[in-house]
């Protein structure tokens, strides 16, 4: 008597579940990542052993965040970080968010009227637009970036950003973490950058739309995407 098709399927299913995967005997990967398992992690024996998550208060160099568990941090509101650790520069308001083992995140809030010409960055980045709209420029090509947009730029690839709209644009940036990088050195670097940009502006460096020639391509594009651009152009810094 031949086995039914259903029985064959069931046997094949259980046989395949017991076979090693290409990522390892007990592990698997998501989208080409490193193998890992979903084996059960020991849990506290009784409710009395469960400790509440700790709130790490903001300091002069770091925002408030939740220490949910060992090596798991949660930042509940980026905008709070802007207000608590933001450093105003002629390239935007910068500040740190969270530091990981190999990556770090920070924010940039572009203020209406800011203009930053194309320039290279030594390390690649992933940039997510949290709120507001702004303009990404590279190789003379311009793209309006809106909430939910994310873009990548490679190492030493010249990029510029422009803020021709009437409201600020908040950006979330992820980069790799270098040796010794942490909150305090980063904040010291930001304050130094603010001073350097101020000195450069005094020497003629351009950081705002109203410092450009009227026929500049950035102004022409700004007028095409914001009918109220003249209001932005009138902002003084």
CATH of the domain at 205: 2.60.120.10
Residue 72's pLDDT band (cuts 50, 70, 90): very high
Residue with tokens 């979903």: 38
Residue 231 maps to a domain? no
| CA–CA dist 228, 210 (Å, integer) | 14
Structure tokens at 69: 């568990």
The number of angstroms, rounded, from the C-alpha of 87 to the middle of its chain's C-alpha atoms is 17
> Residue 110 phi/psi, 5° resolution?
-80, 130
Whether 114 is covered by a domain: the verdict is yes
pLDDT band at 32 (very low <50, low <70, confident <90, very high): low
Residue 79 token pair: 């905008």
Return the residue matching tokens 């930001």.
Answer: 190
Q: Does the residue 68 lie in any domain?
A: no
Tokens representing residue 167 in the block: 């409201």
Check residues 51 and 44 and name the one with the higher pLDDT.
Answer: 51
Q: Is the CB of residue 109 less than 8 Å from the CB of residue 89?
A: no
- Identify whether 22 is part of a domain: no
Give a yes or no: residue 201 inside a domain: yes
Cα distance between residue 213 and residue 225, in whole Å: 18
Within 8 A by CB and 6+ apart from 23, the residues are: 29, 35
What does the alpha-carbon distance between residue 231 and residue 204 come to, in Å, rounded to a whole number? 24
Which structure tokens are listed for 125?
């980045």
Number of structural domains the chain divides into: 1
Tens digits of residue pLDDT in 121-159: 889 999 999 999 999 999 999 999 999 999 999 999 999
| Residue scoring higher pLDDT (47 or 166) | 166
In a domain, 43, yes or no: no
Residue 196 host element (H or E): helix 183-202
* Residue 128: domain span: 86-225
**pLDDT score of 43 more than 90:** no
Local confidence band at 40 (pLDDT 50, 70, 90 cut-offs): low
3-state secondary structure of 51: coil
- Higher-confidence residue: 213 or 33? 213
């Amino acid at each position: 008597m031949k086995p039914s098709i259903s029985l064959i399927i069931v046997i094949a299913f259980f046989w395949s579940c017991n076979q090693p995967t290409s990522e390892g005997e007990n592990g698997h990967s998501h989208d080409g990542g490193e193998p890992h398992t979903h084996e059960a992690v020991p849990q506290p024996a009784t409710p009395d052993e469960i400790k509440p998550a700790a709130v790490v208060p903001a300091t002069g160099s770091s925002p408030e965040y939740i220490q949910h568990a060992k090596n798991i941090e949660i930042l509940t509101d980026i905008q709070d970080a802007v207000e608590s650790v933001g450093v105003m520069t002629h390239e935007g308001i910068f500040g740190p968010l969270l530091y990981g083992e190999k990556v770090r995140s920070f924010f940039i809030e572009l203020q209406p009227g800011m203009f930053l010409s194309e320039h290279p960055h030594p390390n690649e980045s992933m940039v997510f637009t949290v709120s507001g709209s702004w303009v990404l420029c590279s190789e003379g090509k311009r793209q309006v970036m809106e909430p939910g947009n994310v873009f990548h730029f490679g190492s030493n690839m010249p990029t510029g950003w422009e803020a021709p709209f009437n409201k600020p644009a908040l950006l979330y940036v992820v980069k790799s973490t270098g040796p010794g990088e942490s909150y305090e050195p980063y904040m010291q670097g930001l304050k130094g950058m603010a001073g350097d940009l101020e000195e450069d502006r005094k020497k003629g460096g351009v950081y705002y739309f109203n410092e450009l020639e009227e026929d500049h391509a950035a102004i022409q594009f700004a007028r095409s995407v914001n009918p109220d651009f003249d209001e932005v152009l009138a902002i003084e810094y």
